[in-house]
Amino acid sequence: MTDYKNLKLIATSNPHIRSSETTRSIMLDVIIAMLPALVWAIIWFGVKALTLTAVSVIGCMFWEWLYRKLMKKPQSVGDLSAVVTGMLLAFVCPVTTPYWMIIIGGFFSIIVVKQLFGGIGKNFVNPALAGRAFLLGSYAGVMTTWIDATQNKAPLMGSTTDIVTAATPLAYMKTGNMAGLTETYSVMDMFLGKTGGSLGEISAAMLILGGLYLIWRKVINWQTPVAYIATVAVLSFLFPKAGSSMEWMLYSVFGGGLMLGAFFMATDYATSPVTKKGQLIFGIGCGLFTVLIRYFGSYNEGVCYSIMVMNLCVALIDKYTKPTRFGVVKSDKKEAAAK
């Protein structure tokens, strides 16, 4: 006789569309998309880029595993989301970040931001960005030390006090020092990633490559990244702080973490709007805040905070961009709104 009770039949209402897409396969695609940028970071900054990313990934996986274990919840470390968080966290930190620090960042990302709110899909801001914000708030000195990779590679172990540092393109742009900027970095340097900055954010070319892969694989929609980058481009073209509009725009778009943020951070499922219209609004908001922080804030870079601010607005955006159900007419809508 068949033991119906233990058959594990899943009963859901129709329609019964099956997709081979799982969290795991999506995360795997994201990881693949990040590899070009990682390879470039290793070439440019040295092997420390790889080891730091590895430590970050292992740290995040460990925290995820530990929390689920201690709280006696179903194990979720296999869905690879912790791997993505770990990689993104390493990508937004300077390559000279000590290993212990990135593990603390991972603790904040995974335990505080993700697991305490219920695990994957329940976090209200991007865990990797929250981890970075925590590290920046806690260890501001270390988190704003940018190695000059043309002079020296990042040391694999030990002290980083002797390294030669360099100002990032955004630091030049903050003060409007266009002459110093064009002398140090050409637009091509910015595009390829021959600049100073966080581990994975420097090469716009590699990140665009990864982003296109994600769009092609239909893991992300084009709306958020395009709206985000276009907003920054238009605003910086219209209001250049120094130099010509075109030049200022190109430096603004390729500088800092914009590409990384637009393709990999702002598109996170749990913390971005559901509808395409909402994603457009989300991207425009991110772009607006990024430019505002870069122009008027006390930090050089605004990508991290702008995405986090917009993450908090997602519930509102979703509410106002909710598509009308089929068959609902205007009077019904009014009635529903009045309730």
Q: Is 160 in the site for another protein (CB under 8 A)?
A: no
Q: 302: which 2 tokens? A: 């605004």
Identified binder of another protein from the candidate list 62, 65, 99, 139, rule CB under 8 A? 139
Which residues 269-328 are close enough to bind another protein by CB under 8 A?
298
The verdict on 238 binding another protein (CB under 8 A) reads no
Would you call 313 exposed, middle or buried from its count of C-beta atoms within 10 A (0-12, 13-18, 19+)? middle
Choose between 43 and 116: whose C-beta lies nearer to another protein: 116
Instruction: Work out whether 141 is an interface residue with another protein (CB under 8 A).
Output: yes
Nearer to another protein, 174 or 229 (CB): 174
User: Quick one: tokens of 253?
Assistant: 């778009």
C-alpha to C-alpha distances, 307 to 94, 127, 130, 183, 266, nearest whole angstrom = 19, 11, 10, 31, 6
What phi and psi values does residue 165 have, to the nearest 5 degrees?
Answer: -110, 165
Nearer to another protein among residue 112 and residue 212 (C-beta): 112
Site for another protein in 172-201 (CB under 8 A): 175
> Which residue among 15, 137, 158, 327 contacts another protein (CB under 8 A)?
137
Q: Which of 145, 160, 186, 275 binds another protein (CB under 8 A)?
A: 145
When binding is defined by CB under 8 A, the residue of 47, 100, 121, 245 that contacts another protein is 100
Closest residue by Cα to residue 224 from 260, 273, 270: 273
| β partners of residue 147 | 165
Region near another protein per CB under 8 A, out of 74-82, 133-141, 184-192, 274-282: 133-141
Among 40, 134, 185, 263, binds another protein (CB under 8 A): 134
Q: Which helix (H) or strand (E) holds 82?
A: helix 81-91
- Say whether residue 15 binds another protein (CB under 8 A): no
Q: Which of 112, 212, 234, 242 binds another protein (CB under 8 A)?
A: 112
The sign of the CA dihedral 115, 142, 86, 267 is: positive
Neighbours of 90 (CB within 10 A): 33
Q: Rule CB under 8 A: say whether 140 interacts with another protein.
A: yes
Both tokens of residue 42? 């290793």
Q: Please tell me the chain's helix, strand, coil percentages from 3-state DSSP, rounded to the nearest 5.
A: 65, 0, 35
Closest CB 86 distance from another protein, rounded Å: 19
For another protein, the closer CB: 152 or 165:
165
CB of 154 to another protein, least distance (A): 18
Sole window of 32-40, 48-56, 140-148, 204-212 interacting with another protein (rule: CB under 8 A): 140-148
Return all residues near 254 (Cβ < 8 A) that are at least 6 apart. 187, 190, 191, 204
Q: Which residue has the tokens 């993450």?
A: 311
Query: Under the rule (CB under 8 A), what is the footprint of another protein?
Result: 100, 104, 112, 116, 134, 137-142, 144-145, 165, 175, 298
